[in-house]
Structure 1
Amino acid sequence: MRRALDCLPPRLHHMLLGWASVGCAYSLGSLWPRHAIVLPELAVDRWIPFDPAAIWLYTSFFLIVPAAYLLARPERLAWLQRAMQWCALAAGAAFLLCPTTLAYPPIAGNGLHAEALRFFLRFDTPHNCLPSLHGALTALSAWALWEGGRRWRSWLALAWALAILFAVIQLRRHLFIDLSAGVALGLLCGLLAARPATALSLSYRRT
């Protein structure tokens, strides 16, 4: 298996090792179903109304992560892979030791947005809310795509990431409390993953 991975192009190699570890951690929430703590809604959650139309921005998460691996500078790939693996380790432990859920709203109607959301929920697991891996990986992807020398791309990546985070709450797959915890986890793991590689440039400068 390891030899087969080594034959892949470097960007795909790093993406598989980093993102697949997150997939394994995400699955832990459905392996041992236990009583889960229901997370509370805060004022900011009530300020953002539930809307199934957010499914499209929400699922664009599955584009921003590959974009980070395909477009980030080559010296950031190992950092991004390592940061995601550490996110997976921390989140997986949280899902097993303290499963959390929320009061998911009912999906009314039979429109395109509602049907798309119902289809997506077939693959979702309700007991792995805190910390939000959706938030953690979105933050890391925006960080990996940020380059001072490419201002437009950097701001577009940041705007995309913020739109995804907003859609996560709008779709009620996470609440502000666990989404914030996920973003914090992603940033913390990004900082820790960068420490061993002091030569890694996380803020690109033109030479």
Structure 2
Amino acid sequence: MMAVTYRLWQMLLGWGFVGLVYNSSDRWQGAGYQLTPSWIDRAIPFSPHAVWLYLSFFLIIPLCYLICPLNRIKWLRSSMQLAALVAGVIYLLWPTTIAYPLDQANSLSSSLLAALIKVDSKQNCLPSLHIALTVLAVWAAADSRNKLRSVLLVAWGLGIAFSILQLRRHLLVDLLSGAALAVMVGYACQRIQWIASGVRQGERQ
């Protein structure tokens, strides 16, 4: 029980900080530069039904916090925080937006998408924190001793990425920059942890 509480606390510190930076930067930034879709973006048909897979992001993040090895929890939390800081600076210095499609269908998926649009930012496009956090969460939970689970998590993450393009919440360039951001901050936080661990060992000797 203590381990679960610890994991949830670390998730609150990491994911909660992301929400704080995301919403603050959205409030303080200027008008966004409209990004141009690539041919890949244009080739993927819009579908409001992708909203279900898109929102599974809010399941995969807590799941990965709960199942990842305990020694990766602080890394996941600090990587999310650093990703939010870097993305927040970009959002403020170079705010971006896209041309969002109008969904006039009458379905449960469309109603859910309309509710999402009301609360989500119309800017904060590049880099995509939706993808950056997904990459970091899957990275933390991936385990060579449980290859099936790791493959399923990667497939889930790729599904979320495709759903983002289907919903036109982001463009491909946003996803690629979000994934690059995750890799950059992930390795940076790993390096910081290694250095800090070496310092602590040296102090004990």
Q: C-alpha distance in 2, partners of 1:101/1:107? A: 18
Deviation readout 1:141-200 (Å, 9 max, x if unpaired): 11011100001100000000000000011100000001110111011111111112239x
How much is the aligned-residue C-alpha RMSD, in angstroms?
Answer: 1.5
1:93 pairs, out of 89, 93, 109, with 89
Could you say which residue in structure 2 is the equivalent of 1:169?
165
- Equivalent AA in structure 1 for residue 91 of structure 2: F
How many residue pairs get aligned? The number is 193
- Equivalent AA in structure 2 for residue 79 of structure 1: W
Is 1:123 aligned to 2:125, yes or no? no
Q: 1:33: Cα distance to partner?
A: 5.0
Q: Is the 8 A contact 2:26 2:91 kept in 1?
A: no
1:159 pairs, out of 147, 155, 160, with 155
Could you say which residue in structure 2 is the equivalent of 1:205?
none
Is 1:43 aligned to 2:46, yes or no? no
- Please give the TM-score of this superposition, normalised by the length of structure 2: 0.91
Q: C-alpha distance in 1, partners of 2:29/2:14? A: 26
Q: Is the 8 A contact 1:18 1:82 kept in 2?
A: yes
Q: C-alpha distance in 1, partners of 2:91/2:142? A: 30
Counterpart of 2:193 in 1: which secondary structure?
coil
Is 1:75 aligned to 2:45, yes or no? no
- Equivalent AA in structure 2 for residue 25 of structure 1: V
Deviation readout 1:32-57 (Å, 9 max, x if unpaired): 35221001100110121110000000
Q: 1:29: Cα distance to partner?
A: 3.9
* More helix as a share of residues: 2
Q: C-alpha distance in 2, partners of 1:29/1:171? A: 23
Counterpart of 1:125 in 2: which secondary structure?
coil
Q: C-alpha distance in 2, partners of 1:148/1:105? A: 41
1:55 pairs, out of 34, 48, 51, with 51
| Dislocated runs of 4+, deviation >4 Å | none
Could you say which residue in structure 2 is the equivalent of 1:197?
193
- Please give the TM-score of this superposition, normalised by the length of structure 1: 0.90
Deviation readout 1:100-125 (Å, 9 max, x if unpaired): 00000001111111111001112101
Is 1:140 aligned to 2:119, yes or no? no
Between the aligned residues of both structures, percent identity stands at 44
